[in-house]
Structure 1
């Protein structure tokens, strides 16, 4: 009696796998077309855009955004959100700078302390949200303010200049591309592998899709949620070090509003705000689209208000397209 349902389930899974594979590649191709189209447009509008210098500059500016977006992808797949990542970035960088300038620690020890700071901040956000069953939106909004205040306290509300203490992260390695960019690429690849090829990744997707079903399967979502938020904090801490290395300073105002950029990149990449679906590779395409858009608008002389309006419209259009695509997929199912 049990053999027939199991065979049916196996056949359904086998049929769903190619469909999911094709859908993922369809998403990648669509994002790539958008990215190439934007590059072509700005190359036409500005004679200086299509150059090695432009692309190297973009590559060296996106590592912090990219690594934070990897963590946010996992959070959104869980049907959560973390608004505190910009403040975590600032506080982690501030702690690392304090360790170098005041406590006399070496760059490796200071960097490790900054990473631990980010990890703990994320873990607290996740633990409070889970323990009191509070929406992560509210908890992370409170953490955004609290951690920003912590960054001001640590730095005495002043920019801390660390010089070349941790500048190795921003140092060019290949054709002007920094070590930070290569690290960000490695984290993107690792994040995609964890999401699609590990039990932990399947649990994250399962919880975001149907948490009650995971409960019934004997899986406790609480530690997984805390781990995801902690890893997001860790990556925000790494982003803080990357930004400090590029600027050779820790600014208590660093990362202000960056959480919106991070969420925008993840949403443009097609990760569902309702949870259960997303791709780290697609998120990286979203990061590139935002970076190219900002660089292109700057080169064609767009004003700051115009850049904000255009970026906002792009985000809304991306969400509308994703919603329409989901509805069509649901009707086909």
Structure 2
């Protein structure tokens, strides 16, 4: 009789997830390629690559948050606030690019820290706390920019410039974040603690691990990554738009859930999340090329999200069945 160690079962399950997502992505590419003669072109894939850096970076942070059984709805607003503060520093205060970028990064990390600290310290649902931060950050972005787009110019366009074959530095940075994020999750004590907290927080306490600073650190990290995403958007537009990132949190959560990260916590993969990002991006690009209306795009995206959640629930039920057996 053949036996499988837990690690072997884990690797087999992960490989199966990657293969399944890769097949789904390939099927979508072939479908839209058959529907539009322009889809299977270098220009389409370069455009997709340069469109997804902000979503990718945010999705890494959201993967961590969902793994610890939390959620952060404020990421789109934090993007806007970080971008707004960067423009304020450069246009009104006369700061150089480096200190202005640093201000944007610090502001995002501070928003994430506040969300995590309030949620953990007072044992409040992160859904509610982050919803409050969503309104605070968005309102602050409007105040800072006087509710108008602030044009910065070419000083910030380097992140979106052509690097190699039309690929932008922002995409390279996003790939680096994916690699680092996966290594932290799978090869570090911090990553094991995150999975442990999402699986059974009380067991972690009994094992002598205080979940509170870890959870606050995860929310601080997603705030920092939201500010990085905001600066990427600023570079693309060469401007700070207080409306940037509206609805972004829904796209991010969709990508992470499609990638297989459990909404119940304790399970997730940054690589799988990247597949989810690509699926969302290909779906949007493909529907745009075949002339689908905006309402149709939203309906189809919503159906994909529901299907992903149903699949997540099915996985949980199978896991519980195996454990019971």
Give the TM bin, normalised by the shorter chain.
over 0.9
Q: Does 1:259 align with 2:249?
A: yes
How much does 1:322 deviate? 2.2
Q: Does 1:18 align with 2:8?
A: yes
Q: Does 1:159 align with 2:137?
A: no
Taking the aligned partners of 1:231 and 1:201, their CA distance within structure 2 comes to 13
> What's 1:249 paired with?
239
How much does 1:331 deviate? 1.7
Spell out, residue by residue over 1:126-162, the C-alpha distance to the aligned partner (whole angstroms, 9 max, x if none): 0000111100000000110111000000001000111
Spell out, residue by residue over 1:94-123, the C-alpha distance to the aligned partner (whole angstroms, 9 max, x if none): 001111111111111111110001000000
Spell out, residue by residue over 1:49-94, the C-alpha distance to the aligned partner (whole angstroms, 9 max, x if none): 0111100000001000000000000000000000000000000000
> What's 1:170 paired with?
160
Q: Does 1:327 align with 2:312?
A: no
> What's 1:91 paired with?
81
TM-score, with structure 1 as normaliser: 0.95
User: Which among 175, 197, 201 is matched to residue 191 of structure 2?
Assistant: 201
Give structure 2 stretches of 5+ with no counterpart: none
Task: Say how many residue pairs are matched.
Answer: 321
Q: Does 1:61 align with 2:22?
A: no
How much does 1:319 deviate? 1.3
How much does 1:332 deviate? 2.5
> What's 1:318 paired with?
308
Taking the aligned partners of 1:189 and 1:248, their CA distance within structure 2 comes to 28
User: Which among 73, 87, 105 is matched to residue 95 of structure 2?
Assistant: 105
> What's 1:9 paired with?
none
TM-score, with structure 2 as normaliser: 0.97
Deviation above 3 Å: which 4+ runs of structure 1?
none
User: Which among 22, 37, 40 is matched to residue 32 of structure 1?
Assistant: 22
> What's 1:7 paired with?
none
Q: Does 1:229 align with 2:219?
A: yes
Residue 166 of structure 1 aligns to a residue whose secondary structure is helix
* Superposition CA RMSD, Å: 1.0
Give structure 1 stretches of 5+ with no counterpart: 1-11
Residue 177 of structure 1 aligns to a residue whose secondary structure is coil
How much does 1:19 deviate? 0.4
Taking the aligned partners of 1:233 and 1:58, their CA distance within structure 2 comes to 24
